[in-house]
Structure 1
Amino acid sequence: MPAERRARHVPRPLSQRATRPFDSAEEAWFWFQRARLNRAEGARLAADPLATARPCDPDDIVRAVRRLAHANVLERRHLRVLDRHGRRLTPPDARLPEEKADAALWDEALDRLTMPLRTKGIVA
């Protein structure tokens, strides 16, 4: 009797095209939020052949945020601001009195997120 072959797990590449990192953590965050909103609406995340190939999956960004939150680098208030303005797909406007505090937290959160994303090659 022939021996059974074991199936090997080979990770599938994210893209066959050259990838381009995001210019900033903010750009990566909004890309993640758009992907999250599309998933919530039931869209399948098939790659758009005309879109720029990215060096990560949206889940890579959320994992980086979770690691920072677990290490208390990002606090609840940072996460609330990232979520609130991420869902709106627009950063807080520091010129508006009601968004001034959010703008400061937004900048802090993205500043803290930049290095982990840069280390992974997600942000240039």
Structure 2
Amino acid sequence: MTRQRAAAVPFPSAEEAWLWTCRMVAGNVYGVPVQRVPEPIPRPCQPMDVAHAVDQLYRRSQLTRDHLAVLGHYGRRRSAPDPARDREARARLLWDEAFGLIAPVLAAKGFILREPAETAVFELV
């Protein structure tokens, strides 16, 4: 009897992939092996694949320690910084900047859906 594997579903965004990674890694920290955490939706990657992509951006000096601090803090909180809160405004800027770099890497690997390019609006004269 062969077990059929469901098709992997890419994440809708890099943020979702990061928050999933943090959730899965947190389970591992608390003694639940990453592979054993129940996941209802099959994903195209492992949590460490996303973490590795972020690490490579840091090693190439594209992400800074400030970016990593924000990604780690809000990843543990499992939510993005709230731009409406004054205390989280700088964190939101760093968060957005980081995902501007992370998203293309994850999209190229097929981990997230490619966001449609902005369509140019032409005015006929």
TM class by shorter-chain length? 0.7 to 0.9
Are 2:87 and 1:98 equivalent residues in the alignment? Answer: yes
Cα pair 2:24 2:37 within 8 Å, conserved: no
Higher deviation after alignment, 57-66 or 39-48: 39-48
Post-superposition offset of 1:46:
2.3
Cα pair 2:27 2:37 within 8 Å, conserved: no
Which structure would you say has the larger Rg? 1
Partner of 1:46: 36
Distance in 1 (alpha carbons) for counterparts of 2:105 and 2:43:
16
Structure 1 residue ranges (4+ consecutive) displaced by more than 2 angstroms after TM superposition: 44-48
Q: What secondary structure does 2:36 align onto?
A: coil
- Which structure 1 segments of 5+ residues have no match? 1-14
Residues 24-61 of structure 1, C-alpha deviations (whole Å, 9 max, x = no match): 0000000000001100110133263x701000000100
Distance in 2 (alpha carbons) for counterparts of 1:59 and 1:16:
21
Post-superposition offset of 1:111:
1.3
Residues 57-105 of structure 1, C-alpha deviations (whole Å, 9 max, x = no match): 0010011001100111111110000001000101111111110000010
| Number of corresponding residues | 109
The percentage of aligned residue pairs carrying the same residue is 37
> Structure 2 matches for 1:61-80, cutoff 5 A?
61-80=50-69
TM-score by length of 1: 0.84
Amino acid at match of 2:93: A
Amino acid at match of 1:33: C
Partner of 1:24: 13
Name the Cα RMSD after superposition.
Answer: 1.4
Distance in 2 (alpha carbons) for counterparts of 1:102 and 1:108:
10
